[in-house]
A and B are shown apart, each in its own frame.
Chain A
Amino acid sequence: MANDLLSIFQFGFMQRALIAGLVIATVCGVLGVFVVLRRTAPLGDALAHVSFGGVAIGIAAGLFPIEMAILIAVLGGIGIRVLQERHLYGELSLTVIQAAGLGGGVVVISMVGGLNVEILSFLFGQILTVTWSDVALIVVLLAATILVLAVLYKEFFLLTFDPEGARVSGLPVRALDTGFTVLTAITIVLAMQVVGVLLVSALLAVPAAAALQLRVGLKGTLLASVFIGMLSVAAGLVLAVFLNAAAGGTIVLLCLAALFISLLMAGRSKQGESGARPSLAVDDR
């Protein structure tokens, strides 16, 4: 039975999907923890919708839709930062930029003849049809993202934990914030190919949210988040093929299942120690 399941990875399309999916799960897992802790989970959604505008322009102009989407998403991310610094409320900046991208995308699409298969595949994900050159782009860009995250890990950690303290300590907070948004934009566009525009912010936030329930320190949480994402991608691909279901939706549902289980586990560990000192309750390691 297990052999049966795994034998589908003989197929080239499954290999490509698995490689792309695992790489994306890794980056989403790490970025997601910071995004969730900084309470900026809606940023992923906003950037996805903005990049949809880029995809539309790319398809309409017969250019590279992914590259165009990355460009537009990065610009959108910088736009969000600029608006936030002008003291437009955080969420409002997201709404404004998201509307600009989505509105532009819809207008462009309607002008070139409405929704076609290519556009639909961006909305709902297309992991099973990625080509080797898609995979190459994903691996190269996300390897670069991982490298930046590794180098700036301690800065992003401080910025997340204590933004004001980070400013006082003389860190280039604005540059770091913008850099973080750009990394998120790139990741979102690439992850969009797995689960689609509509679900991509879930792939970013849900494995991280599940890992945060485990209460295993920051490093442990990052590892757990990556692991949960990878597991959901691999299992989701297999399940989708066997059920003949959409891979993106299946992967996201598995992420949600992981969140559900971790919430149950967290609830149980709290209950079990209700008699103990509250400060000891959740973290006996």
Chain B
Amino acid sequence: MTTTSAFPAANRPVGQVIVRASHVELYRDGQEVLRDVDLEVAKGEILGIVGPNGGGKTSLLRLILGLDRPSSGEIELFGEPVSRFREWHRVGYIPQHAVAFDPNFPATVRETVLLGRVAPRGVFHWFRPEDFAVARSATELCGLSGLEGRRVGALSGGEKQRVFIAKAIASRPDLLVMDEPTAGVDPESERRFYDLLGRLKDELGLTVIFVSHDLGVVSARVDRVACLNRTLVYEGPPRALHDEALLRTLYGGGTVTIAHSEEEPHTHGH
């Protein structure tokens, strides 16, 4: 699409394509939610999705995860159409508002992280020692050592968030999808979250797609951004988030065109 033309080859995904959306459209109750979305995510990439409320970010994630079907267009996961994809243990998902779950839920950190092993182990199979070992190392990686016996509902927002990440990576996914993981956590936890993200990428080779509201932080911490407002307003290196024209188009309402993306984004401030 035109957006990539401003950033040729170097910024285009190289290597294995983990997620590919082509010409995706979604209508709900006759309302257009997504129009003509084309997106590719390569192995090992961290993609941040930003955009206004109601811009279709959650909807797009749900399509990628096979929770909903697009009205038209194709979505492929690991080179397979989503409808035929079966290796779901390769995908981890943390829904929006995950940290706001029932505060009275009785499960401890240890019990919760172990849930990440349910799908890989399979229905009708008991956990094996390696399941406990993997869950333990995920707990450590996420900086939760010492909290294993605590009830998840009694943790702080940032700690809860890391429990959900530990649970997700305990299933040893190749792709991690997170919907607004930093909403409602304090700045210090947010910083820890992005540090953790970097480690997941470096140490586990994880591909990450996540939605965020905080443009400033996103631009410093991701490989690529996708700006979504019904359609992809921009897709490419995060420094473009400093471009005021782009931000106006993204958040300013009005008709969204992709014309702006042909101009070179300003790079001041970086």
A: residues with CB less than 8 A from B are: 33, 37, 151-152, 154-155, 157-158, 161-162, 164-172, 212, 215-221, 279-283, 285
| Residue of B86, B87, B102, B159 with most partner-chain A CB within 10 A | B102
Report Cα–Cα, A239/B241, bound state, in Å.
72
Tell which of A37, A157, A221, A279 touches B115, judged by Cβ atoms closer than 8 Å.
A157
B: residues with CB less than 8 A from A are: 65-67, 86-89, 91, 93-95, 98, 101-102, 104-108, 111-112, 114-115, 117-119, 121, 123-124, 127, 149-151, 154-156, 159, 171
Q: Is the CB of A162 within 8 A of B115?
A: yes
Contacts of B105 in A (CB 8 A): 37, 161
Give 5 closest A-B pairs by Cβ, nearest first: A170-B88, A169-B119, A283-B151, A221-B106, A283-B154
Contacts of A217 in B (CB 8 A): 106-108, 111, 149, 151
Contacts of A158 in B (CB 8 A): 115, 118-119
- In addition to A165-B94, A279-B156, 19 A-B residue pairs with Cβ atoms within 8 Å of each other are A37-B106, A155-B118, A155-B123, A157-B111, A161-B105, A161-B112, A165-B93, A170-B119, A171-B118, A212-B106, A215-B151, A217-B151, A218-B107, A218-B108, A218-B111, A221-B106, A282-B154, A283-B151, A285-B150
Report Cα–Cα, A93/B182, bound state, in Å.
37
Q: Is the CB of B95 within 8 A of A169?
A: no
Minimal beta-carbon separation of A160 from chain B (angstroms): 8
Tell which of B91, B123, B154, B159 touches A281, judged by Cβ atoms closer than 8 Å.
B154
| Residue of A158, A162, A168 with most partner-chain B CB within 10 A | A168
Report Cα–Cα, A154/B121, bound state, in Å.
10
Q: Is the CB of A161 within 8 A of B106?
A: no
Report Cα–Cα, A166/B65, bound state, in Å.
12
Report Cα–Cα, A154/B114, bound state, in Å.
9
Report Cα–Cα, A221/B88, bound state, in Å.
31
Report Cα–Cα, A165/B105, bound state, in Å.
16
The chain A residue sitting closest to B85, CB to CB, is A170
Contacts of B86 in A (CB 8 A): 170
Q: Is the CB of A161 within 8 A of B151?
A: no
Minimal beta-carbon separation of B252 from chain A (angstroms): 32
Q: Is the CB of B65 within 8 A of A168?
A: yes
29 CB contacts below 8 A, A to B, read A151-B124, A152-B123, A154-B114, A154-B117, A154-B118, A154-B127, A157-B111, A158-B115, A158-B118, A161-B101, A161-B105, A162-B98, A165-B95, A166-B118, A168-B91, A169-B88, A169-B89, A169-B93, A170-B87, A171-B118, A172-B123, A215-B154, A216-B106, A217-B106, A218-B106, A219-B111, A221-B106, A279-B155, A279-B156
